[in-house]
Structure 1
């Protein structure tokens, strides 16, 4: 088995089905671990298996009560480390869709680059209600990634894949930015890279946890930069940027991304795509 995909789940069955069905790889060479974080209706294989591709190996880990994303993720990671024999572990969220080439590209890259322990990719953010999308671009080599992490999370959560030896549990002291805290901590210990391809389409959910807790998330991002950064100048600039984001409502930030996308430098990471424009191959 080449890799295992970890998916946290809570009352989102149809999006879970779409996400699992978007995983494309050789049958028998991967598995999926789903952590049901106290859903109102417990997720069962009896309900799920008829709706997904045949031959996909699925394990469901149940939390009897809803305990939040950090507990769900750490429970799933620990289960994989204890019970699944595979060299790589990947992430995906309900509602996010993988390009057909995602896992072959990531496994191939890690196989060919044994010095890289942590890998992400570019992604396409999409609001399915409005059909508006933008391509999230980032630096791709480790040194540039380390600098850019002062300003934003270079690794979009559902795009990442770890080498097993590099896996760590998520910190619980950065609410709503636990991924940023973990990834920043990891790039200080291991080498990382980003594939310059949009390999995941991430759903923008106006009613999702991230947007509902945006201010708390931004506060946690500031705490991460303060704790992790080793560059005083870049960290100061990064914190100022995050504080500016706290002043601006998300709707305005999104519109600014759309308006400025065509002329932005690659490091700014935004290229607008709409329902009428061509999307990256396979998306």
Structure 2
């Protein structure tokens, strides 16, 4: 079997005061080809230090201060574009990659040039690594478009993005705080396809101190604004998505997490 080509792929990892989690995340990558990584240090004190990981080249881009994940990701994509990188593979500090994730995603992107955003199924775990539930969203572009406002069709840390398409769509931006991933994906889907590989690519750490918990109301309001912007009046799943987000404004975060765990857990 020939060695896969990953020279035009870079892992994009924004981080803030998370040295240990960064090291743990990067150590989880298992690929047959050398892996390139860009850490965007969003004003950490002390600054993030590039860890030494076998088969991996790690660069740190330091932001002048803590400006938020939206601006960190925007700067990261700009930096990768300037370096001639074609594919950005997202992951967050604390999450773990499954073996050969990058190889599998790049192969799909190469054979599906219309695809600009490619996710994978996700194991959701607690902060000790214990399994909570699995996310297995739709895989095909048509199914994703139909329900894209009703459910989360992508796990952000599992994504591989076509860098030139992201730049063409306007890059990440801070207009929709804490929903920067959905904002970007919805813009990409206006002119490109989105898909998910039907296999698990990441262990996503559900952190009660993460964005989905600490900035929950901001995230929900941003998502509602996006839903109303892209709402298709004749598409019932769009209306269901709006109703679900209104429920998120009413119900406590812990109650929603418990309900999701019971519904999706084994």
Q: Give TM-score scaled by structure 2 length.
A: 0.90
Asked if structure 2 preserves the Cα contact closer than 8 Å seen for 1:185 and 1:228, the reply is no
Instruction: Write the distance in 1 (CA, Å) between the matches of 2:145 and 2:241.
Output: 12
Aligned residue among 33, 36, 52 for 1:31: 36
Instruction: Write the distance in 2 (CA, Å) between the matches of 1:72 and 1:86.
Output: 17
Report matched runs for 1:32-47 at 5 Å. Answer: 32-45=37-50
Aligned to 2:255: 252
Q: Does 1:241 align with 2:244?
A: yes
1:69-115 alpha-carbon deviations (Å, 9 max, x no partner): 111111111011012x3331111100000001311211121222233
Q: For residues 229 and 186 of structure 1, do their structure 2 counterparts lie closer, same or farther at Cα, with a shift above 3 Å needed?
A: farther
Instruction: Write the distance in 1 (CA, Å) between the matches of 2:31 and 2:58.
Output: 14
Aligned residue among 182, 194, 215 for 2:196: 194
Q: Does 1:178 align with 2:146?
A: no
Q: Does 1:58 align with 2:61?
A: no
Aligned to 1:75: 75
Instruction: Write the distance in 1 (CA, Å) between the matches of 2:196 and 2:98.
Output: 15
In the alignment of these two chains, the number of paired residues is 256
Asked if structure 1 preserves the Cα contact closer than 8 Å seen for 2:150 and 2:239, the reply is no
Asked if structure 2 preserves the Cα contact closer than 8 Å seen for 1:32 and 1:58, the reply is yes
Instruction: Write the distance in 2 (CA, Å) between the matches of 1:39 and 1:72.
Output: 12
Instruction: Write the distance in 2 (CA, Å) between the matches of 1:207 and 1:125.
Output: 15
Aligned residue among 1, 4, 23 for 2:10: 4
User: What is the SS of the residue equivalent to 2:120?
Assistant: strand
Instruction: Write the distance in 2 (CA, Å) between the matches of 1:174 and 1:164.
Output: 20
- Root-mean-square deviation (CA, aligned residues, Å) is 1.7
Q: For residues 132 and 118 of structure 1, do their structure 2 counterparts lie closer, same or farther at Cα, with a shift above 3 Å needed?
A: closer
Unmatched segments (≥5 aa) in structure 2:
1-6
1:104-128 alpha-carbon deviations (Å, 9 max, x no partner): 2111212222332221111011113
Aligned to 1:210: 212
Report matched runs for 1:259-274 at 5 Å. Answer: 259-261=262-264, 272-273=265-266
1:226-245 alpha-carbon deviations (Å, 9 max, x no partner): 11233454333221111012
Q: For residues 102 and 27 of structure 1, do their structure 2 counterparts lie closer, same or farther at Cα, with a shift above 3 Å needed?
A: closer
Aligned to 1:153: 152
What displacement does 1:136 show?
0.6
Unmatched segments (≥5 aa) in structure 1:
262-271, 274-283
